[in-house]
Structure 1
Amino acid sequence: MTTPPNSAPTDEGTPERSTRPLAVVTGASSGIGAATARQLAAAGYEVVCAARRSDRIKDLAAEIGGRAVTCDVSDAGDVARLAQAVGARLDVLVNNAGGALGLAPAAQTDVADWRGMFESNVVGTLQVTQALLPALVASGAGTIVNVGSIAGRTVYEGGSGYTAAKHAVAVLTETLRLELVDQPVRITEIAPGMVRTEEFSLTRFGGDQERADKVYEGVKEPLVADDVAEAVLWMVQRPAHVNIDLLVIKPRAQAASHKMHREP
């Protein structure tokens, strides 16, 4: 897809708003975020791709005819610049930025990992939502999709930091729905189970490819990023009076966060 003349795949300036509905996807440089940006663009949205890695989101924005805004969601200044780039009206916000760090027992876990997970998953979601909420309200029918996890509904050994962060995302989502019930904004959450992407487990284990691969070992068909992205698109395309409070999506081989069917 070529880039329309009234949008620009860079951080520079605020391009003229196109006639397409506008969506923002955070954490758009890879995985679920990149897949969601592609799905939304294919459905007719102009997509603002936001992430820390400028080169990746610029390439993605050029591919889908969107815009790239370099943004660390835990940095208030970056988030303010994102809001400025978005402008006065926004139709969809997908709070996808986040991730897991480490798998140590709580008694031995690195506190810095906890801080990192809360900054990206929780504080980042809060800051971006606060900054873009006026534009979502101004659209008259805004939708927020928070990308949570089944880890936000249960716990497992070694996952204390990540499950705590995703539980916080779930509670934030539910609280926003109560507080904004009189506003023209839908507050939704998608909670994926096992999704095999190129970076999630690799990041969790500090680049240890062998350890990352073992997460998916024997699982015939884990979810992939497009499975989640298609579900997000379905959520935002419901009629404006329909709110999908929570959509849990897992591979058939997964019964719970700790219960998988693994073939020999």
Structure 2
Amino acid sequence: MAVIEVNNVWKAYCDRKKETATIVLKDLSLTIEENEFVCVIGPSGCGKTTLLNLIAGFEKPQRGEILYRGEKITGPSVNRAVVFQEYSLFPWLSVLKNVEFSLKKYANKKERTAVAKKYLEMVGLSEFMDYRPSDLSGGMKQRVAIARTLAMEPDVLLMDEPFSSLDEQTRSKLDNEILDIWLKNKKTFLYITHNIDEALLLGTRIVMLSTTPGTVAGEWLLPEGKKNLSSEELVAIKNDIMKKLQTCSCTAGVIQMGDTYE
């Protein structure tokens, strides 16, 4: 059974002043299997974050359905945890307390602390447990957010361009840490990015969405042992993706409110 199934999903946003609706996703179907690391790329505004929000259960489609392990998604769940672009930390809490906050399922405080410390060590922040977020760099704040998400032990991790605001050196370091975490834990990842090199590094599969209204415009399956690929093979895949990215487009999906989707 697939972990996530997106079946013929349509998503639109209404502008009641203009009495129009913009179709963001159009008849989109996508399946994510156990332990896959799926990177979603595409032009700005193509619906990547909207797709993630739908899978997270933050929003609902107008048409179609999204399933988690065969059950229809009707709202958020701890089984599908999200790491956002923003750090979303509590500034008045220490690093340790920020991670502990997500562990309410553990009734015992000693157990919560032990689990939080385990995941802070995993992201290399053991020495900063007593610091406040204001004392940390941007990359360190995002590590805390990742540790907090991992500590929840979700089945699926949804990551929305988590390193887009960071400098290239920090981003590269965190990309490799995420890859290492995935290799060790083998959870199912959906990762939104604009960066093709990042997608090639992290993904077992790359999915490209077309311009609005977004639908699947291309897919590339990458072997788990990508380090065994020659640089020429990776360059060929990258060139194919870039070529497809330049040509993938759809007509803008603006309709009058009350019209039916076609």
- Fold in common (TM above 0.5): no
The bucket for the TM-score relative to the shorter chain is under 0.3
Q: Which has the higher contact order (CA 8 A, sep 6+)?
A: 2
- TM-score norm. by structure 2 comes to 0.26
Bigger Cα Rg: 2
